[in-house]
C-alpha cells in the first residue's frame, strides 16, 4: 500500500499536536512534516507532502493556503475566520488547478456533522422539532453555535416542505421556559459541570418521537473527521466548505 504523505501546520498547538499523533498512528498515512510558527513552510515541499492539515491562526492561514495551492498540495483546514472574501480568494487560487482540493470546515466531529445532516433529512416528516444542547458550565454563549446552526437547517427544511410553525398550545409561560427561538425552532441550553458537549434533536409526530443525539466526550472527537478528510480529499478537487460534503450521504 502506498501511504498518503501528510504534513501538519500548527503541529505544536493543542489541536495540531493531536493531529500529528493520529497521523503517526494511522497505518495508511505517513507524516512527512510537522511545521509550526518559526519553521519554514518549505519543509512541507521538501517532505513531498500530498495533503497538509492546517490548525493554525486566522492571521497566517491565508499565507499557508497560498503556499499550499501554489505548490499543488491539498489542504484540510480547521482554522477559523473564513468569510466570503477569504473563500473567494482561495477559490481563485484553485482556478486552473483542476486536480487540487481544499476543504475548510468549522466542525470536524463526524457525529455533529451527521446529526445535523440527519436532522435536515428528518425535518419535513415531523410536525415539530426542538433542540436541546447541553454543555459544561464554562461556556459563554447560549445556545451553542452548533445548536443554532442545526435549528436553522431544520427551519429551512421545514420551509422547503411547506411546513409552518409546529403546534404549541402554551398560553401560560414562565419567562424562558420554552427556550430560545431560532428561525421558529425552539432551542434549550443546559449548563452543568461534568458535561462536555452534547446535542439532542427531537422530532415529534402523532404517537412517536425521533431523537438524534451527539455526545462529544473528549476534544479528540475531531480526529476521525480530520483523517477522513485527509483520505478523501484527493478525490474531491476544488474548494469544499463543510465536512458534510465529503461524507457522500
Catalytic residue annotation: 135, 139
15 is in an annotated binding site: yes
Residue 9 beta carbon to a copy of itself: minimum distance, rounded to whole angstroms: 22
Judge contact between 136 and 196, C-beta under 8 A: yes
Q: Does the annotation place 106 within a ligand binding site? A: yes
Using alpha carbons, select from 49, 94, 1 the residue that is nearest to residue 11.
49
For the CB of residue 174, give the shortest distance to a copy of itself in the complex, in Å.
4
Is residue 11 marked as binding?
A: yes
Helix (H, G, I), strand (E, B) or coil at 145: helix
Question: Smallest gap, in angstroms, from Cβ of residue 101 to a copy of itself?
Answer: 20
Nearest to 8 by CA among 49, 66, 62: 49
Helices 223-232, 14-25: crossing angle, 10 deg rounding: 60
Contact at 8 Å (CB) between 74 and 218? no
Complex with a copy of itself: residue 60 or 234, whichever CB lies closer: 234
Least distance to a copy of itself, CB of residue 227, Å: 10
Query: Looking at beta carbons only, is 98 or 138 nearer to a copy of itself?
Result: 138
Distance of alpha carbon 163 from alpha carbon 32, whole angstroms: 52
Least separation in angstroms between residue 208's CB and a copy of itself is 4
Distances (CA, A) of 199 to 56, 140, 189, 216, 241: 27, 16, 9, 9, 22
Closest CB to a copy of itself among residues 96, 169: 169
Is 108 assigned a ligand-binding role in the annotation? yes
CB of 64 or CB of 107, closer to a copy of itself: 107
Q: Does the annotation list 118 as a binding residue?
A: no
To the question of whether residue 71 is assigned a binding role by annotation, the answer is no
Sequential DSSP letters for 15-66: HHHHHHHHHHH-TTEEEEEEE-TTS-THHHHHTT-SEEEE---HHHHHHHHH
Nearer to a copy of itself, 46 or 249 (CB): 249
Measure the CA–CA gap between 78 and 226, rounded to whole angstroms. 9
Detail the residues annotated as belonging to a binding site for NAD(+): 10-15, 36, 78-80, 105-108
List binding-site positions: 10-15, 36, 78-80, 105-108, 136, 145-146
Binding residues for (S)-2,3,4,5-tetrahydrodipicolinate: 136, 145-146
Amino acid at each position: 500500500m502506498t501511504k498518503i504523505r501528510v504534513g501538519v501546520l500548527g503541529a505544536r498547538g493543542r489541536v495540531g499536536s493531536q493531529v500529528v499523533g493520529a497521523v503517526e498512528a494511522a497505518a495508511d498515512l505517513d507524516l512527512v512534516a510537522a511545521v509550526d510558527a518559526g519553521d519554514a513552510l518549505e519543509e512541507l515541499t521538501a517532505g513531498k507532502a500530498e495533503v497538509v492539515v492546517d490548525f493554525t491562526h486566522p492571521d497566517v492561514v491565508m499565507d499557508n493556503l497560498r503556499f499550499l495551492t501554489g505548490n499543488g498540495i491539498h489542504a484540510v483546514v480547521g482554522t477559523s475566520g473564513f468569510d466570503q472574501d477569504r473563500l473567494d480568494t482561495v477559490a481563485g487560487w484553485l482556478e486552473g488547478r483542476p486536480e487540487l482540493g481544499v476543504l475548510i470546515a468549522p466542525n470536524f466531529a463526524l457525529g455533529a456533522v451527521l446529526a445535523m445532516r440527519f436532522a435536515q433529512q428528518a425535518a419535513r416528516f415531523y410536525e415539530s422539532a426542538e433542540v436541546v444542547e447541553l454543555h459544561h458550565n464554562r461556556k459563554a454563549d447560549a445556545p451553542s453555535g452548533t445548536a443554532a446552526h442545526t435549528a436553522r437547517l431544520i427551519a429551512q427544511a421545514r420551509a422547503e416542505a411547506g411546513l409552518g410553525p409546529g403546534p404549541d398550545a402554551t398560553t401560560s409561560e414562565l419567562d424562558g421556559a420554552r427556550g430560545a427561538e431560532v428561525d421558529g425552532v425552539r432551542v434549550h441550553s443546559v449548563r452543568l459541570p461534568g458535561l462536555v458537549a452534547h446535542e439532542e434533536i427531537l422530532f415529534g409526530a402523532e404517537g412517536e418521537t425521533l431523537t438524534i443525539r451527539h455526545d462529544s466526550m473528549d476534544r479528540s472527537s475531531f480526529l476521525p473527521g480530520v483523517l477522513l478528510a485527509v483520505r478523501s480529499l484527493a478525490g474531491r478537487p476544488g474548494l469544499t466548505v463543510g465536512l458534510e460534503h465529503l461524507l457522500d450521504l
